[in-house]
Structure 1
Amino acid sequence: MDPELVRHVATSTGLSGPVAARVVADVVAYFSETTEEYVRRRHRELQARERRNAEIWTVIASELAARPVRCGEVSERQLRRIVYG
């Protein structure tokens, strides 16, 4: 973990060093998911909310485009292949 980032988070938020380190670790873990893992997880979550695939692909594509580390544009076909093989 980058100590400078932890220091920045602690300073900018008023959190203690250990709490800031946990926040940074949580964020890093969240964004360490591969694109494939993210797509599969979100597909399961959205299906559990009874969303239809046509809507799911649009939601996932827009979420991927907004992530800080972008994977590039992903088509609906590519998303289906990630989920269904």
Structure 2
Amino acid sequence: MYVDPHLVRHVRESAGLTAAEAERLIGDVLAFHHETVEEWVRRRHHELQGTGARNAEIFTRLRHELDGHVVTAPDLSERQLRRIIYG
């Protein structure tokens, strides 16, 4: 898994960690959030159903939660990357 060296430096400096500790911490956080949007939605839907929530409430809540949730980016092809950059 790629860890951005700028992020490692930022975490190291702001938290007073060694580079190895910062890298491990970032890796742990990224691993925790290593779900696709689809996987996350299915998991959260199931969890919320288990609390007795109805779909109308669940869907509103999922949209709200996704707004601030980190999920794994899709695996983009070179063509898709080019379209993002050049339109």
Shorter-chain-normalised TM-score: which range? 0.5 to 0.7
| Runs of 4+, deviation exceeding 3 Å | none
Cα RMSD, aligned residues only: 2.3
Higher helix fraction (1 or 2)? 1
Which residue matches 1:83? none
Query: What 5-or-longer segments of structure 1 have no aligned partner?
Result: 72-85
The correspondence of residues 1-85 of structure 1 with structure 2, limited to 5 A, is: 1-67=3-69
Shift of 1:32: 3.3
- 1:38-80: CA deviation from partner (whole Å, max 9, x where unpaired): 10111122122232222111110111122357x9xxxxxxxxx
- The TM-score, its normalising length taken from structure 1, stands at 0.64
Aligned residues: 70
1:47 is aligned with what amino acid?
Q
Per-residue deviation, residues 7-43 of structure 1 (Å, max 9, x unmatched): 2111111223232212211222233321101101111
Identity of aligned residues (%): 51
